[in-house]
């Protein structure tokens, strides 16, 4: 008995390959991809041109940076993503307000009070006589 021909799939080959790629990714890679999407979506939604650049446009929020908005939203995960991506928690608005001034929750204030370790900071530390490490 011959089976009837089936309709071609509505999903393109490219989409099928992408589905296979997603399945083969590790959970960590998937999390990283979702984190990047969340960060990019946030920057676009709030009209930011970059992680350490203020809002663009005529919003009346002169000098407001992504860390300020994330702190005001109380979004701990988003704030962590911004800091991991290199956002400067010390950025100030044109009125001199810092991210901790916008914070609504204790965890946000706590996160913002932690020292930020950067590669440049480690290199500077490595130059000290007391602490030597090669970077």
| Global pTM value | 0.62
Distance CA 17, CA 46 (A): 33
Residue 81 lies in a domain: yes
Q: Is residue 44 helix, strand or coil? A: helix
Dihedral of alpha carbons 54, 111, 86, 39, sign: negative
Q: Residue 88's CB: how many other CB atoms inside 10 A?
A: 16
pLDDT, mean over the chain? 75
Residue 132 lies in a domain: no
Question: Residue 3: what pLDDT?
Answer: 54
What is the number of domains present in the chain? 1
Residue 4 lies in a domain: no
Instruction: Give me the mean pLDDT over the 85-101 stretch.
Output: 88
Between 77 and 114, residue with greater pLDDT = 77
Distance CA 59, CA 45 (A): 13
Residue 7 lies in a domain: no
pLDDT tens, position by position, 7-45:
445 656 666 656 666 666 677 788 889 999 999 999 999
Here the tokens at position 33 are 């991809």
């Amino acid at each position: 008995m011959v089976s009837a021909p089936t309709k071609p799939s509505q999903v393109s080959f490219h989409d099928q390959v992408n589905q296979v790629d997603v399945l083969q990714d590790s959970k960590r890679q998937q999390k990283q991809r979702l984190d990047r999407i969340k960060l990019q979506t946030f920057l676009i939604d709030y009209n930011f041109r970059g992680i350490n650049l203020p809002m663009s446009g005529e919003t009346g929020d002169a000098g407001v940076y992504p860390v300020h908005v994330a702190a005001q939203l109380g979004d701990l995960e988003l704030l962590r993503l911004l800091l991991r991506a290199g956002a400067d928690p010390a950025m100030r608005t044109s009125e001199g307000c810092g991210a901790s001034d916008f914070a609504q929750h204790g965890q946000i204030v706590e996160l913002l009070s932690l020292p930020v370790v950067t590669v440049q900071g480690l290199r500077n530390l490595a130059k000290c006589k007391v602490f030597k490490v090669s970077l």
